Amino acid sequence: MTAVATAGSAGRSASRAGLATAAVLVFLTAIGALLRLAVAGQSLFGDELSTYWIVSTHDLGGVIAVVHDEIEITPPLSFVLSWLTTRIGLTPELLRAPSLLAGVAAIPLVYLIGVRTVGRAAALVAAAITALAPFMIYYSAEARAYEPMLVLVLLSTLALMTALRDDRARWWIAYGACTCAAVYTHYTSVFGLAAQLAWVLVAFPEARRRALLANAGAVVGFLPWLGGMFNDFSSPDSRILTLLAPFTPHNVRLSVEHWSIGFPYVTPTTELRDLPGVVALLALALGLASALVALVGRSFIDTARPRLDRRLALVVAMALAAPIGAALVSAVGSDLFVARNLAVSWPWFALLLAALLCGGGSRVRFAAVGLVIAGFAVGAAKTLDADVRRPDYGAAAAFVDRAASSRDVVLDHAALFVAPGPLTGLDAALRRRHQIIRVGVSEQREHNFRPGDPVLPLEEVVRRATQPSRGRIFVVSSESGFAASTDFWDQQLAPRRRLETRSFPGFIRLAVLVYADGAPIVRERASG
């Protein structure tokens, strides 16, 4: 009777612990979802503008055809998903919906994989880090392929681990299908998928045949896209990216720092001392140092020879897969070593960090975990700061829509930050038709910007803008030196005078300068 009572008590304790863990995981997922939703409404920026142009100007067949060409160097699945979600409405939130849903799903998926690899406690810590990491928050609200690809690799891993346990055909099929879908989403998924397959072949010799068959099926499924892949690899965009992010020790260090604990874009307002910030960096350093001290102390107590568990070996291999893979490719070909191309390894970095934090003594472990989570929480909060937002084309465009008449002309000087085109951030945000002249980039709107595209000389821009038939001139500028920008346009558009200046914060600050004939009546306002 006593044994039965003891067993019943243990069962109730386990049930309560399971409910508590589930409640914490739901809470972490909700926090992560709220943080991601808070940034999902920001203006479209950078490569997202290519996604916007592709899905807003083509039907589904056209989307696939355009992505198949060398216009894009990314496979089609994420574009198809964004095309489907924007059938409801063409808004930044719906364009980003695939990434947003994937970013939220990554939190419980990291936990589920963590339970199977590093243990329940470390899995929960890894889920907390995933929910709060600035890198994951940013790419969960980016209309590109990184978050969907990352989640498909996580699903591939879950299916593989279940197949290794149950050895049922459906799980091997699911593993192969998720593997194929991940490559259809982004080519850098191959770094993680290759490490995953190598792990199976080494750690589970009995499963080699089934794993190879599943991957063979994935390869067959990818064959229809082989021509598109060759177009992508020969695209001039690959060479342009090499020029923008050369494979140097300095860029490698910056990429690893901002991939792990920082913000994807390195600007004067998003360096590590700003995001996550000095306080967060101190908390992260103290937490990591405490965990390392605890592990060293534990190694002196436990004199048994350490052995790398094969489940932990998977975590280590996957965490290193993208950094090593990107470095090898960069050493022999196109430079891939930038923070976003390391995305597939990020969940595994979180799991490895969590395993390290939870590996020492209980008291030190709690302190280490608390400090590191606090550091990531500070960084997460700072992703909501005005100066860390994407450039606020939406607010600038709303002002132009509200204030500019049909006679007025708009100079789009913010187009300098478009990538890869052919629409600018201002194009995507405006809701009314305006007379727009681009400054510094091509006027064409039919294909991605190319080095050979004709660009209007500045003199011609000024001549067109100041014709007698024109009304006021609205200059939308994104130059980093705001004072230099205003002085520059004051000189170029003289004798017209600046009547009003609006500034809009973000990690690239925007300004709208309004010029007209007559005496200067300058009103400067900071918006947002």
Quick one: pLDDT at residue 422?
Answer: 86
β-strands 409-412, 473-477 pairing: parallel
pTM (whole model) above 0.95: no
Quick one: pLDDT at residue 16?
Answer: 79
What CATH class has 393-526?
alpha beta
β-strands 497-504, 510-516 pairing: antiparallel
β-strands 435-438, 409-412 pairing: parallel
- Cα-to-chain-centroid distance, residue 493: 39
pLDDT at 335 over 60: yes
Counting Cα atoms < 13 Å in the Cβ hemisphere of 62 gives 9
pLDDT at 227 over 60: yes
**Residue 52 to residue 254: CA distance in whole angstroms:** 29
The mean pLDDT of the chain is 90
**Residue 138 to residue 398: CA distance in whole angstroms:** 24
Omega of the bond prior to 276 within 30 degrees of 0, cis? Answer: yes
pLDDT of 61-77, one tens digit each? 999 999 998 778 899 99
Domain regions of the chain by residue span: 17-387, 393-526
- Cα pseudo-dihedral 319, 324, 329, 331, rounded to 10: 150
- Cα-to-chain-centroid distance, residue 133: 11
pLDDT at 522 over 70: no
**Residue 296 to residue 386: CA distance in whole angstroms:** 42
pLDDT at 241 over 90: no
**Residue 188 to residue 325: CA distance in whole angstroms:** 9
Quick one: pLDDT at residue 427?
Answer: 94
pLDDT of 344-386, one tens digit each? 999 999 999 999 999 877 788 999 999 999 999 999 999 999 9
Contact 372, 290 (CB under 8 A): no
**Residue 362 to residue 166: CA distance in whole angstroms:** 34
- Cα pseudo-dihedral 448, 450, 453, 455, rounded to 10: 90
**Residue 327 to residue 336: CA distance in whole angstroms:** 7
Q: Which residues touch 489 (CB under 8 Å, ≥6 apart)?
A: 413, 475, 477, 498, 513, 515
Q: How confident is the model at residue 487 (pLDDT cuts 50, 70, 90)?
A: confident
Q: Which residue has better confidence, 15 or 336? A: 336
pLDDT of 92-109, one tens digit each? 999 999 999 999 999 999
Element (H, E) at 436: strand 435-438
DSSP SS3 for 473: strand
For residue 383, how many other CB atoms are within 10 A of its CB?
23
Contact 511, 504 (CB under 8 A): yes
For residue 438, how many other CB atoms are within 10 A of its CB?
23
